Structure 1
């Protein structure tokens, strides 16, 4: 395959595994030079490949973001930054009353403020190239399931920030696109259930009475659903198409569940949507128990 984009850079944060790694490989396969954000030397060795250059990037560490900007500015081939894919994220799910505030803050630091920090530092490069920002949100940025309050809150906030940013930089030639994945088979998704059960195990007796069954049934429901979820490679391929689309839409869903849930959340009254989620959740839980 020819490499028509070999003189352009793309940054992908959270590229060690899952959607980020798949996106990095998909973009490299069509000729981009991908600066793939990872946090450890082991992750760097795993992702390094032709067209993929690992860079140390914890998006909550200002020095890492500064070094990334310097790497782009000092690119030996003077390549332009074509796109920034903000994919890094963490997910810790528990009832609103139960989840410690430090875990609320940690998720907002990574899933929102870290992305804003990267955008602020790299936007001048994208302005020069008339490039593109692709923010990886979630179906949870439109509809929040029980125990997903903190994670969904970060994604709702990212959706709002993306709308404002898109309207601010449109006249500057920079495009802002949101991708809303539903269930995707990733290590983060697979771990989230175990983390929820571990947190639930530490709840007080009263909280166990109030929320124990809800947490366990939600984790079981999600585990059953993930068996049929979109593979990470397919998600990465779609995001690569979003990066390269000539006339991108402002938003893309990813997966059948997102394609169903996002429009539903926009038109149904809140109480009816509650009933839909409760019914769907119960049926998945019962199916997983059989």
Structure 2
């Protein structure tokens, strides 16, 4: 058994608390189950009673958590502070998110605001509320971002923009709280087979149907080709369960890196985005 393994075993024997937002389905649900199987008590954020019933299990406690609603976040903070067993909060995994993709000229500003409210501001609300508990435990923030924050496909501007902003905030947070013993880790997720990913392409095509004639002429083929590319790739993508195992390791390893790629596309896309000239990257990115 390695030193790293011993550290993980020691932590899991305590039954410490871990928060996972967006745990109704997909990566969040799989991560909650994976961590619970390792002995942690998971506070799994869901938004509907039926989702709570589906995720509830040994060491998985569903909590109503729409991260855009202040009262939900306040209730979560109180639940942790008043834990009957006085368990420490080991980690917060900020996974909740929405994805709506359309050309920048076409996507309404209200939809942009909705994306940023969930994918950025909601997570900041959770972080602000739970930092006192993480300070007490010298715990960890794990922020689930996207490959798109560095390598953005056409029509993904709003979603990728919200993730890029989340990464910049995460970098600042890491430097702010490191002296307090809190670690901040970014996970740049690529393609993963989840309900959100499966809905993304059809939703883009549906939005395209509402475009006017000029926008259809300008962007119709681009939307179609981008959706086709992503849908084809998702057939070969990792499962939510595979992603959850990697997130569990990232959450529990003693000395994590500041950033991790998640998935096959992350492995080859992120290095290209970082080292290729922008004009060359424009030719590489599908569109």
The normalised TM-score by structure 1 is 0.94
Tell me the residue number matched to 2:170: 162
| Residue 220 of structure 1: how far off its partner (Å) | 1.0
Residue in structure 1 matched with residue 187 of structure 2 by the alignment: 179
Are 1:61 and 2:58 matched, yes or no?
no
Secondary structure in 1 matching 2:18:
strand
Residues 5, 141 of structure 1: CA spacing in aligned structure 2 closer, same or farther, 3 A cutoff?
Answer: farther
Question: Could you tell me how far 1:4 is from its partner in structure 2?
Answer: 3.2
DSSP 3-state at the match of 2:39: coil
The CA distance in 1 between the partners of 2:94 and 2:65, in whole Å, is 12
Q: 2:279 maps to which residue?
A: 271
Please tell me the root mean square deviation across aligned C-alpha atoms, in Å: 1.0
Alignment map for 1:183-202 (pairs within 5 Å) = 183-202=191-210
Aligned-partner SS, 1:246? coil
Give yes or no for contact 1:6–1:33 (8 Å, CA) kept in 2.
no
Question: Is the contact between residue 137 and residue 179 of structure 1 (CA under 8 Å) also seen in structure 2?
Answer: yes
Write out per-residue CA displacement over residues 94-153 of structure 1, whole angstroms, 9 at most, x where no aligned residue.
000000111100000000000000000000000010000000001011111000000000
Report the counterpart of residue 248 of structure 2 in structure 1: 240
Structure 2 partner of 1:206? 214
Contact 1:144–1:152 (CA<8 Å) still a contact in 2? yes
Q: Which runs of 4+ in 1 moved over 4 A?
A: none
Deviation at 1:264, TM superposition (A): 1.0
Distance in 2 (CA, whole Å) between partners of 1:263 and 1:90 is: 26
SS at match of 1:137: strand
User: What does residue 6 of structure 2 align with?
Assistant: none
**Structure 1 residue 9: deviation in Å?**
0.1
| Aligned position for 2:87 | 79
**Separation in structure 2 between the aligned mates of residue 275 and residue 191 of structure 1, nearest angstrom:** 27
Q: Distance in 1 between matches of 2:131 and 2:177?
A: 9
Match of 2:224 among 208, 213, 216: 216
The CA deviation at 1:172 is 0.3
Q: Separation in 2 of the partners of 1:198 and 1:6?
A: 48
Q: Which runs of 5+ in 1 are unaligned?
A: 282-290
Give the structure 2 partner of residue 41 of structure 1. 49
Shift of 1:163: 0.5
Asked if 2 retains the 8 angstrom alpha-carbon contact of 1:134 and 1:176, the reply is yes
Q: How far apart are the structure 1 equivalents of 2:70 and 2:229?
A: 38
CA distance in 1, matches of 2:45, 2:14: 19
* Count of residue pairs brought into register by the alignment: 278
Shift of residue 7, structure 1, vs aligned partner: 3.0
Residue 244 (structure 1) shift: 0.3
Separation (CA, whole Å) in 1 of partners of 2:202 and 2:81: 42
How far did residue 5 of structure 1 move? 3.5
Q: In the alignment, what sits opposite 1:117?
A: 125
